[in-house]
Structure 1
């Protein structure tokens, strides 16, 4: 069985949630991932928790097309943000029929960050929602090891690890770090490619991550190896923002190229992993 893919919002961030659902349906995606909170002050925001007209249209297009919502982002808990601030995000996630949110912990106080992550998991539990911790190379939770420390400490059944192939590579993580982790931690992974050589500055890392990722097979990251190191049940979200190419060919054609290159690049890898997984 060929893998199914989700279209991450960062890939086409200037498309509204209803537009994304329609683009995903026309280009072959099973799901979309929606961003309902702004991460930077100058990016578009789609607050479905307040914009009921947009929520109604999003739900209508989902019903018409069969495209679902894989995940909702972003619960980003820095030093000033308590998990209760994301209760509206959890409510939106449940209304959209998703069971996964993405969280980040850019907080240098490890004890506080861990305690807040545990509380977010507890808030999400009654909604039937899993909290997927994403590590980002330039934050205070930069890699697999720091994420595993948080997940092990909170010991919540609805907590998991989100691997983004760009951040995995830029953080210098090793494949061996993934192979012995609990399989139930891996629900969603974000895939992209990029040059093997990382930018030399934090500003360069952020710019490349938000604006200049590469389609699978067009960079120098070991994406196949990372995919093979995760359970075959992991679902794949294509997070591949490339403002230059998208600006030339448009959001829909860029989304189409993203999924077609992913299908070609991962041909055989997912099937082999499924076979291996079924024998365990």
Structure 2
């Protein structure tokens, strides 16, 4: 059983949305991921919201290539969360026929975070979007068990999801049994990359790796094979490998092709 692959934002961060779609089409991907909302004020993003010309160009690229939009980033649930902050993002996702929005949990009050996650799912449901909560060891959702607890305590909304990133699997306390314990209906896609595994890294080191220095699958010590064997065989894969130093010597298409080629041995059926 073959999987579909999506070119993640971090693997194509040098591209505009229509450029990312055309790069994906030329290098063998079926979908792309876009970052239309920055992960922090002023942080890098792709600009499309409130830019109708970019939206039209992106839709034209989708129609020309058949490449779709899988996930869009990012919503962060903090202490003063209001799900309507992102109304323009939901509208953009609907116009692009996106499937999922990536969600991070930053509120140290887990009960409030859980309630706000449930609110988010409710607000996103009419748009046909899943709210995929990504566990990251430097956030307040540090591992797969935490993500599952929050989603279940939120009442497991129909559009709830848990996003598994190989990097965060390898740098959190998450085990393969924890991955297998995630109900299939909560898994909509997973992200692949590699790095040096371990739980000894500082927050600053973990963030630096995640945003600047991921490794190609097979080049680190994370159990990428074990992870993708534990995940459903038909689960879509987002190829998320950003390495600013390595990318210097490759244009976006070359880098996208390199990332996919390194990922396929781990995501293809055995």
Q: Normalising by the residue count of structure 1, what TM-score does the alignment of the two structures yield?
A: 0.92
Correspondence for 1:252? 253
Gaps of 5+ in 2: none
Correspondence for 1:163? 164
Would you say 1:190 and 2:191 are equivalent positions? Answer: yes
Paired residues of 1:199 and 1:205 also in contact (CA < 8 A): no
Structure 1 residues 49 and 67, CA, compared in 2 at 3 Å: closer, same or farther? same
Paired residues of 1:72 and 1:102 also in contact (CA < 8 A): yes
Shift of 1:197: 4.6
2: CA distance between counterparts of 1:181 and 1:208? 26
Alignment deviations for residues 73-94 of structure 1 (CA, whole Å, 9 cap, x no partner): 1011222332111221111111
After the TM superposition, which of the residue ranges 256-265 and 67-76 deviates more from structure 2?
A: 256-265
2: CA distance between counterparts of 1:180 and 1:166? 19
SS in 1 for 2:245: helix
Correspondence for 2:116? 116
Paired residues of 2:135 and 2:142 also in contact (CA < 8 A): yes
- TM superposition outliers: structure 1 runs of 4+ over 6 Å: none
Alignment of 1:134-173 (within 5 A): 134-155=134-155, 156-173=157-174
Alignment of 1:32-43 (within 5 A): 32-43=32-43
Shift of 1:134: 0.5
Shift of 1:241: 0.6
Q: Normalising by the residue count of structure 2, what TM-score does the alignment of the two structures yield?
A: 0.95
Alignment deviations for residues 190-237 of structure 1 (CA, whole Å, 9 cap, x no partner): 110112356632111110110110111111110111111122231100
1: CA distance between counterparts of 2:182 and 2:266? 25
After the TM superposition, which of the residue ranges 175-184 and 35-44 deviates more from structure 2?
A: 35-44
2: CA distance between counterparts of 1:22 and 1:199? 39
Figure out how many residues of one structure are paired with residues of the other and give that number: 269
2: CA distance between counterparts of 1:150 and 1:195? 28
Shift of 1:58: 0.6
Shift of 1:51: 1.1
SS in 2 for 1:249: coil
Gaps of 5+ in 1: 270-280
2: CA distance between counterparts of 1:236 and 1:266? 8
CA RMSD across the alignment: 1.5
Shift of 1:42: 4.9
Correspondence for 1:72? 72
1: CA distance between counterparts of 2:112 and 2:150? 11
2: CA distance between counterparts of 1:209 and 1:39? 12
